[in-house]
């Protein structure tokens, strides 16, 4: 009996210690698609988040507490994203959340963080509306922030690359039927209109479609000189391969998702030359970027050392740094305090995309608010490189570091 009481006391002590330790962590939600066609973005983002959290915890954490990541797979489904947001808020009691890859999921899920007054940093989704649903004066405070380049930044860059730099006057828009594709198409139409160009064809397809012959033939017959795309990797690869089957080759210039591994690996040589805006290109051109790339490759061991979605990884990594800086500055894990600190960060935050100097304000929750902070990438022999030499120089300047 004495032995049993001793064991029981020890067990209770260990249980109490574990409870105290768990309570001492700072819980941060991390949601995204870790399975399915969007998984290359979600998994890359999650790995970037993990690397940043590990580095911060190794340095003592934030406010003397360790960061605890609460990860959930939203499967790129709107309804699943809603369930996860409610679970992270009500059951897990996260102090903030990171993620949201797909625009539809972001639009559906972020409203719950807004209602709960819990900050969320959208670190991949680019739908223009995502961070602007809850702006003043309709709402006193907006709890949705972003580190990715919104479509109203990307679309004008795509249009300018096609029309201004390359002289194409006959362009076709190819967009999937999701919120991402159709909202991007609208931004593309506006950007082209400002350049005095009307698309000769506008075609739509669904996620999972494997034959775009009909859409491509209509674009070809309309005389399209380039395809401007808004879709994700698997379907973009079908466009590139479909052109090859038709014996028709025109440039693909589209949103950042043309850099996805499941486009590059499936399209292979047919994808070479595709152009897209990028906030981050896997190029170790500064010491900070080299350290991040090395850490990612060591942790994930990607095929041929190439990240599946370098943009997603970098934006995920930087989102953790920004959130940690805000919590440290606020001296608090209360949602309103973290939001206020994010809107007025006092110290620069050295990320891998850039060195952030007061990136947010009460009126602006975008870290990327100018095309000067985004670069044109090009698919070449299985990886993404800088399409223009001046873009790489600008990326180094924006980093605030010397070249590697």
Q: What is the rounded CA–CA span in Å between residue 335 and residue 338?
A: 5
Mapping DSSP to helix (H, G, I), strand (E, B) and coil, where does residue 280 land? coil
Split at pLDDT 50, 70, 90, the class of 238 is very high
Answer yes or no: is pLDDT of 174 > 50. Answer: yes
Rounded mean pLDDT, 5-21? 44
Split at pLDDT 50, 70, 90, the class of 37 is confident
Q: Which of 220, 317, 303, 313 is nearest to 264 (CA)?
A: 303
For residue 243, the model assigns a pLDDT of: 98
Rounded mean pLDDT, 155-168? 98
Assess contact for 30 and 49: CB atoms under 8 A.
yes
For residue 3, the model assigns a pLDDT of: 37
- Range of weakest confidence among 15-29, 133-147, 235-249: 15-29
Q: What is the rounded CA–CA span in Å between residue 45 and residue 379?
A: 20
Answer yes or no: is pLDDT of 336 > 70. Answer: yes
Answer yes or no: is pLDDT of 402 > 80. Answer: no
Fold exhibited by the domain 152-278+375-399: Rossmann fold (3.40.50)
Percent pLDDT > 90 in the chain is 92
- Tell me the sheet residues that pair with 16: none
For residue 373, the model assigns a pLDDT of: 95
Q: What is the rounded CA–CA span in Å between residue 15 and residue 8?
A: 10
Alpha helix ranges (H) inside 207-302: 213-221, 233-246, 261-267, 287-300
Answer yes or no: is pLDDT of 389 > 60. Answer: yes
Whole-model pTM: value is 0.91
Q: What is the pLDDT of residues 183-193, one digit of tens each?
A: 999 999 999 99
Assess contact for 279 and 311: CB atoms under 8 A.
yes
For residue 401, the model assigns a pLDDT of: 81
Answer yes or no: is pLDDT of 403 > 80. Answer: no
Q: What is the pLDDT of residues 51-76, one digit of tens each?
A: 999 999 999 999 999 999 999 999 99
User: Whole-number mean pLDDT of the chain?
Assistant: 93
For residue 14, the model assigns a pLDDT of: 44
Q: What is the rounded CA–CA span in Å between residue 79 and residue 127?
A: 18
Answer yes or no: is pLDDT of 43 > 80. Answer: yes
68-104 as b/e: b if 16+ CB within 10 A: bbbbbbbbbbbebbbebbebbbeebebbbbbbbbbbb
CATH 3.40.50.2300 in the chain, residue ranges: 27-149+286-369, 152-278+375-399
Q: For the domain bounded by 27-149+286-369, which CATH number is listed?
A: 3.40.50.2300
For residue 12, the model assigns a pLDDT of: 43
For residue 312, the model assigns a pLDDT of: 97
Containing H/E element for 56?
helix 39-58
Split at pLDDT 50, 70, 90, the class of 7 is very low
Split at pLDDT 50, 70, 90, the class of 295 is very high
Answer yes or no: is pLDDT of 20 > 90. Answer: no
For residue 242, the model assigns a pLDDT of: 98
Phi/psi of residue 31, each to 5°? -125, 145
Answer yes or no: is pLDDT of 22 > 70. Answer: no
Give the total residue count for the chain. 404
Q: What is the pLDDT of residues 96-133, one digit of tens each?
A: 999 999 999 999 999 999 999 999 999 999 999 999 99
Assess contact for 277 and 154: CB atoms under 8 A.
yes
């Amino acid at each position: 009996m004495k032995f049993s009481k001793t064991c029981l006391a020890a067990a209770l002590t260990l249980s109490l210690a574990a409870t105290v330790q768990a309570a001492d962590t700072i819980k941060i939600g991390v949601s995204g698609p870790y399975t399915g066609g969007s998984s290359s973005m979600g998994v890359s983002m999650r790995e970037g988040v993990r690397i940043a959290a590990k580095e911060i915890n190794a340095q003592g954490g934030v406010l003397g507490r360790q960061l605890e990541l609460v990860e959930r797979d939203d499967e790129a489904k709107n309804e699943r994203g809603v369930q996860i947001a409610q679970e992270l808020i009500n059951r897990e009691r996260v102090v903030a959340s990171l993620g949201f890859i797909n625009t539809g999921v972001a639009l559906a899920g972020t409203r719950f963080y807004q209602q709960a007054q819990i900050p969320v940093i959208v670190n991949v989704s680019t739908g223009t509306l995502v961070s602007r649903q809850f702006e003043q004066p309709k709402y006193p405070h907006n709890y949705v922030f972003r580190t990715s380049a919104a479509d109203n930044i990307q679309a004008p860059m795509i249009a300018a690359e096609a029309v201004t730099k390359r002289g194409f006057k006959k362009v076709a828009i190819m967009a999937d039927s999701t919120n991402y594709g159709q909202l991007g198409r609208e931004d593309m139409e506006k950007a082209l209109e400002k350049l005095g160009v009307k698309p000769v064809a506008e075609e739509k397809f669904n996620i999972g479609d494997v034959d775009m012959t009909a859409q491509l033939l209509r674009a070809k017959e309309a005389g399209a000189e380039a395809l401007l795309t808004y879709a994700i990797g698997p379907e973009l690869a079908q466009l590139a391969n479909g052109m090859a089957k038709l014996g028709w080759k025109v440039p693909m210039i589209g949103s950042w998702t043309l850099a996805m591994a499941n486009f590059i690996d499936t399209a292979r040589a047919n994808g070479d030359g595709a152009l897209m805006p990028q906030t981050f290109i896997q190029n170790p051109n500064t010491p900070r970027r080299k350290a991040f790339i090395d850490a990612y490759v060591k942790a994930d061991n990607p095929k041929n050392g190439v990240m599946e979605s370098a943009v997603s990884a970098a934006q995920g990594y930087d989102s953790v740094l920004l959130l940690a800086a805000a919590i440290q500055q606020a001296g608090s894990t209360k949602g309103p305090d973290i939001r206020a600190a994010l809107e007025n960060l006092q110290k620069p935050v050295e990320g891998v995309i850039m060195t952030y100097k007061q990136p947010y304000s009460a009126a602006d929750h975008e870290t990327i608010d100018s095309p000067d902070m985004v670069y044109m990438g090009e698919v070449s022999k299985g990886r993404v490189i800088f399409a223009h030499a001046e873009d790489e120089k600008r990326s180094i300047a924006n980093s605030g570091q010397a070249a590697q």
